[in-house]
Amino acid sequence: MTADLLLGALLAFTLVTAVVTALARRLVTTLVAFAAYSLGLALVWLALRAPDVALTEAAVGAGVTTALFLLLVKRAAREDADAAAPVTARVRPASVAVAAVATAGLLATVPALPAVGDPAAPAFGPATEFYLADAAERGIDNAVTAVLVVYRGFDTFGEIAVVVTAAVAVLAVLGREVVA
């Protein structure tokens, strides 16, 4: 019961921060609200007992992404004095309608999801049981890490290549040859 209340409160918090993010007039306000939204989402993951995802969401979403956005807003403000000024355009009714329809469409799929921890959920199959048993046998206690590196190592290899590519792309676009 307490857990449900906590989850409900966290979801309400993320909802409010999401709306503030969309409606804020100043970019800096948007960024702060977006960071708060990420933090709320991280706490939701924690409440749903997914601490690995929560840590990533808090560090990447609430932390570093916000820092990068702030940097870019500051840079944009330096190059264009209007960029940091409050946005005067009003929220268009059509945008609200599209957002409402998309939200309703997504909410309509929620009843089709299996309950949290349902043993009949598709995620719990023979493969999952093998991963859990084999990871423990290999001495890796965190099954998330075991899946990422041992069983899905090829994917993770690709992912890290993407991370490196991000740095290469930024340097290439800016026409620089040294990293710092």
> Interface with other proteins by CB under 8 A: which residues?
51-52, 55-56, 59-60, 63-64, 67-68, 71-72, 75, 138-142, 144-146, 148-150, 153-154, 156-157, 160-161, 163-164, 166-167, 170-171, 174, 176, 178-180
Q: What contacts 20, CB < 8 A, 6 or more positions away?
A: 29, 33
Kindly state the smallest distance separating residue 130's Cβ from other proteins, in Å. 14
Comparing CB distances to other proteins, the nearer of 23 and 71 is 71
Cβ–Cβ < 8 Å for 38, 61: yes
Kindly state the smallest distance separating residue 125's Cβ from other proteins, in Å. 22
Comparing CB distances to other proteins, the nearer of 107 and 166 is 166
Kindly state the smallest distance separating residue 133's Cβ from other proteins, in Å. 14
Counting beta carbons within 10 angstroms of the beta carbon of residue 92, is it exposed (0 to 12), middle (13 to 18) or buried (19 or more)?
exposed
Comparing CB distances to other proteins, the nearer of 82 and 141 is 141
Kindly state the smallest distance separating residue 93's Cβ from other proteins, in Å. 35
Q: Report the chain's terminal Cα–Cα distance, integer Å.
A: 51
How far apart CA 136 and CA 131 sit, in angstroms, is 8
Comparing CB distances to other proteins, the nearer of 12 and 171 is 171
Comparing CB distances to other proteins, the nearer of 119 and 175 is 175
Kindly state the smallest distance separating residue 105's Cβ from other proteins, in Å. 31
